[in-house]
Structure 1
Amino acid sequence: MADRTNESGIVPFLRAGSAPDRTRREGWQQWRRQRDLFTPAPKLSLEEYTALSPRGRGLHDIHRTATHMNIGLLETPMSARITKLMRSRLRNNALNFEPGTRDGLMISGGGYLGKTETACAAAAGFEDVWRDLHHQLLPPPVEGTRDLFVPVAYCRTPVRATPKALCATILDFYGAPHPKTLNGLIRAV
């Protein structure tokens, strides 16, 4: 059995560089495009494992460790309901052209239950669909103009976020300047 590397010798399951910063536009886009690229280690029988070279066994062991450290989010009935509701809210809010407040969603629960990853996966899935629709309906960007099409902003906020702090966090995501007043912040957002 051949070692689990490609012909150039590069180990395909190791990430080059640090994890993308989802709280910045560029990092969110990188994470959104790469979120499903990780390939878990294959299951090998004892015979297949022992048939590998020492280097191959070492790489397989590292790949298995990477698989355990990057285990995919398991869909549960609750996460499926949250995903469905969140995508519905995102779609409805994106199609609402009236001024005013948009519907939101609060996801509560203890730590390490997958709330953030469920929300990010739902938002990234919505963005994939929205970008596809955008590219079908709208012409490509005009050369010489700034085309900033980012339908989703991922923002970490404190538990008791104020409107001012939330607006500042959203503007930070896009790298935009902060107006001095709350009304200015709201208009900028």
Structure 2
Amino acid sequence: MTAPEEGGSVPFLLPGSPPMRDTVAGWDHWRVTRHRFVPAPRLSLAEWRRLSPRKRTLHDLHRAATHANLPLLQTPMTKAVTKLLHGRIMTNALKRKPTTRAGVMVTGGGYQGKTETTCEILATFEDTWLQLHQQLNPAAVPGARDLHVPVAYVQPSSTSTAPRCTRGWICPT
């Protein structure tokens, strides 16, 4: 593979700030674009040295972006979390009783992929759910303010010590 052309666009950089997943529009944008990142091509030292200074800089930047956006690995733990969380979400989505819906708490040390794993599971659920409903709210009334949002993401506070309704939870609505 080769680095981007001298005058071409840089495909790995997206304009603007990252999508804010705690808004409907931000979550939807992230969900739809979450797999569009293209990792940097692997170059040998000789191939890298043959690049122009500009292409080297672009390749190095692309490599740094690749390392900052590593794909989620399917480990035994992520498979277990996926199975549990997907099952819980589907059960809750189908539940029509007014009783409390069961939840899941994913705990662990920092920078281990808890949020990204959970968001990926929920985005996959939402993709499937919207396909089932053909991207529409089947009970929507024309002209009304019906907004079909199967998943809600709330950015957790890094200093929260107890569960609160306003911050810190990812849940199917």
Q: Please report the TM-score for the alignment, with normalisation by the length of structure 1.
A: 0.77
Give distance in 2, aligned partners of 1:76 and 1:25. 30
CA positional deviation for 1:107? 1.1
- Structure 2 runs not aligned, ≥5 long: none
Residues 141, 147 of structure 1: 8 Å contact kept = yes
Corresponding residue for residue 14 of structure 2: 15
Give the secondary structure class of the aligned counterpart of 1:63: helix
Are 1:44 and 2:43 counterparts?
yes
CA positional deviation for 1:33? 1.1
Q: Which has the higher helix share?
A: 1
The 5 Å alignment of 1:38-187 reads 38-135=37-134, 144-157=143-156, 158-162=160-164, 166=165, 168-169=166-167
Corresponding residue for residue 4 of structure 2: 4
Task: Pick closer, same or farther for the CA change 1:140–1:43 going to 2, 3 Å.
Answer: farther
Identity %: 51
CA positional deviation for 1:47? 3.0
Bigger Rg over Cα = 1
- Structure 1 runs not aligned, ≥5 long: 171-188
Residues 130, 136 of structure 2: 8 Å contact kept = no
How many residues end up aligned between the 2 structures? 166
CA positional deviation for 1:147? 3.9
Give distance in 1, aligned partners of 2:3 and 2:66. 17
CA positional deviation for 1:142? 6.3
Give the secondary structure class of the aligned counterpart of 1:153: strand
Q: CA RMSD in A?
A: 2.6
Give distance in 2, aligned partners of 1:90 and 1:117. 16
Cα distance per residue 1:132-183 (max 9 Å; x no partner): 1110786696653434111000123433024xxx0x459xxxxxxxxxxxxx
Residues 126, 150 of structure 2: 8 Å contact kept = yes
Give distance in 2, aligned partners of 1:55 and 1:132. 44
Corresponding residue for residue 174 of structure 1: none
